């Protein structure tokens, strides 16, 4: 016992250091090539931990609230005044939104517009948070048995939080928008000028405000511009509210997120998948439909068989697919509430009561 702290001099390492270091380097490179190397182990662990996490969630949430109340108690009066003012302003916006919604409904009925594709949503609860230097994630209590799968968007009442990147049977891991590995295409709707839109890539860098990389170097942004998901790539629906543009350092632009992943408790997982858009058939092209000469010469088989009279389409026009009715990134912002109608917990900005 007296010599318990005596330092050992004999080291019988089973593997030489060089081999272990080489193995570690190989593991890093292998992990780069096969990014899902540990994924199964991770989701199995969280599936196994899920009951325990749900048990400890309530006291930790209570502790969080208690800690927050200590600081909030000193600013209750000012906070109350601010909320009253904000509530009055939001009621005005609610009236505007109702008027706009009625107008959009009327236009849609006049144009016989095809409604946006429906978004199925799964309600989930946050049972874990991990904020490490290289990963920021939430763990939800919904998995594949709740029809939640990788790639699906996760939103709370205020806006988008992130995407699912791992799904176990009972739990899912969410990669936050602030995570360094998060990159999603967004549309920036100008708040001033002629109301144009700008396409950009929003990248997380572990700071609370992700960066914006503009697709066009000549595009102009302004502080306060609205950022929504662009829907490019077909993985995320168009129009999910994300945040507003704020100036960053060195002339860059960042996004102040609407959602607060640090405090949110209940979220929705949007089950959305849009098939890649297929090019229209030749008979559906405007030139063909107008009876103009096609640019591509017809095949010999077509020439050999006598066809119908010019101008008459050989096949009836195909019905418009629901996916084709998704508003394009350049569409006016008034289309957004129609797509949000499918997500009950994501009301229009002016609809807060």
Partner 1 sequence: MALERVAGHGTALRIVSAAVPFLCGLVFSFFANIPVSLTSGQVPPPLLALVPVYFWCLVRPDLMTPAVTFAIGLAEDVLSGGPPGVWTLAFVLTYVLVARQRDSFASLSGLAAVLGFASAAAICCAVAWCTVAFLALLTQGAHLPPIGPMVSELVITVIFYAPTALLMGWLHRRLVGPLRSDI
| Residues found near partner 1 in the complex (CB under 8 A) | 1, 4-17, 20-21, 23-25, 27-32, 34-35, 37-38, 41-42, 45-46, 49, 53, 56-57, 60, 63-64, 67, 127-137, 139, 173, 180, 183, 201, 203, 205-207, 211, 213, 261-263
Measured over the CA atoms of residue 327, residue 198, residue 332 and residue 210, the dihedral's sign is positive
Q: How far apart are CA 54 and CA 59, in angstroms?
A: 10
Helix or strand run (H / E) with residue 206: none
Q: How far apart are CA 180 and CA 135, in angstroms?
A: 7
3-state class of 243 per DSSP? strand
Count Cβ neighbours within 10 Å for each residue of 325-337 and write b for 16 or more, e otherwise.
Answer: ebbebeeebebbb
76: number of Cβ within 10 Å? 10
CB of 139 to partner 1, least distance (A): 5
CB of 31 to partner 1, least distance (A): 3
Q: Considering beta carbons, is residue 3 or 218 the nearer one to partner 1?
A: 3
CB of 299 to partner 1, least distance (A): 40
**Helices marked H in 112-225:** none
CB of 141 to partner 1, least distance (A): 12
- Bridge partners for 120 per DSSP: 271
Backbone phi and psi for residue 27, each to the nearest 5 degrees, phi listed first: -65, -40
Backbone phi and psi for residue 124, each to the nearest 5 degrees, phi listed first: -135, 160
Q: Considering beta carbons, is residue 53 or 256 the nearer one to partner 1?
A: 53
CB of 245 to partner 1, least distance (A): 18
CB of 259 to partner 1, least distance (A): 14
Q: How far apart are CA 57 and CA 74, in angstroms?
A: 27
Q: Considering beta carbons, is residue 102 or 263 the nearer one to partner 1?
A: 263
CB of 264 to partner 1, least distance (A): 10
Q: Considering beta carbons, is residue 22 or 287 the nearer one to partner 1?
A: 22
Q: Considering beta carbons, is residue 262 or 318 the nearer one to partner 1?
A: 262
Q: Considering beta carbons, is residue 181 or 191 the nearer one to partner 1?
A: 181
CB of 53 to partner 1, least distance (A): 7
- 136: alpha, beta or left? (left if phi > 0; alpha if psi -120 to 50): beta
Q: Considering beta carbons, is residue 137 or 226 the nearer one to partner 1?
A: 137
Q: Considering beta carbons, is residue 15 or 110 the nearer one to partner 1?
A: 15
Q: Considering beta carbons, is residue 173 or 272 the nearer one to partner 1?
A: 173
CB of 199 to partner 1, least distance (A): 15
Backbone phi and psi for residue 272, each to the nearest 5 degrees, phi listed first: -135, 130
Q: How far apart are CA 153 and CA 345, in angstroms?
A: 14
Instruction: Give the largest CA-CA distance in the chain.
Output: 106
Q: Considering beta carbons, is residue 59 or 193 the nearer one to partner 1?
A: 59
- Concatenated DSSP letters for 101-144? HHHHHHHHHHHTPPPPPP-EEEEEEEEEEEEETTEEEEEES--G
Backbone phi and psi for residue 113, each to the nearest 5 degrees, phi listed first: -65, 140
CB of 96 to partner 1, least distance (A): 34
Instruction: Look up tokens 């991770």; give the residue.
Output: 42
């Amino acid at each position: 016992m007296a010599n318990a702290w005596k330092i050992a001099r004999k080291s019988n390492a089973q593997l030489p250091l060089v081999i272990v270091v080489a193995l570690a380097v190989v593991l890093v490179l292998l992990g780069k090539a096969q990014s899902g190397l540990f994924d199964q182990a991770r989701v199995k662990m969280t599936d196994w931990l899920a009951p325990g996490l749900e048990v400890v969630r309530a006291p930790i949430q209570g502790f969080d609230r208690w800690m927050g109340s200590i600081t909030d108690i000193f600013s209750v009066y000012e906070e109350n005044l601010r909320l009253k003012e904000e509530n009055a302003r939001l009621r005005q916006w609610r009236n505007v939104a109702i008027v706009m919604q009625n107008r959009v409904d009327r236009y849609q009925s006049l144009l016989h517009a095809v409604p946006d594709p429906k978004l199925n949503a799964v309600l989930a609860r946050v049972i874990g948070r991990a904020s490490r230097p290289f990963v920021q994630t939430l763990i939800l209590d919904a998995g594949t048995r709740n029809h939640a799968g990788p790639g699906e968007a996760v939103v709370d009442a205020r806006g988008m939080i992130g995407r699912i990147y791992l799904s176990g049977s009972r739990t899912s891991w969410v990669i936050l928008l602030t995570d360094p590995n998060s990159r999603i295409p967004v549309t920036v709707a100008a708040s001033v000028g002629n109301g144009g839109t700008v396409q950009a890539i929003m990248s997380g860098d572990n700071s609370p405000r992700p960066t914006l990389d503009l697709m066009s170097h000549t595009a102009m942004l302004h502080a306060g511009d609205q950022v929504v998901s662009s829907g490019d790539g077909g993985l995320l629906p168009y129009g999910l509210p994300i945040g507003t543009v704020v100036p960053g350092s060195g002339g860059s632009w960042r996004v102040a997120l609407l959602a607060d992943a640090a405090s949110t408790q209940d979220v929705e997982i949007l089950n959305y998948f849009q098939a890649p858009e297929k090019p229209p058939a030749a008979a559906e092209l405007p030139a063909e439909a107008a009876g103009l000469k096609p640019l591509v010469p017809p095949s010999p088989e077509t020439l050999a068989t006598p066809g119908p009279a010019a101008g008459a389409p050989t096949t009836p026009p195909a019905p418009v697919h629901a996916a084709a009715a998704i508003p394009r990134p350049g569409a006016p912002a008034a289309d957004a509430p129609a797509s949000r109608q499918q997500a009950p917990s994501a009301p229009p900005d002016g609809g807060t009561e």
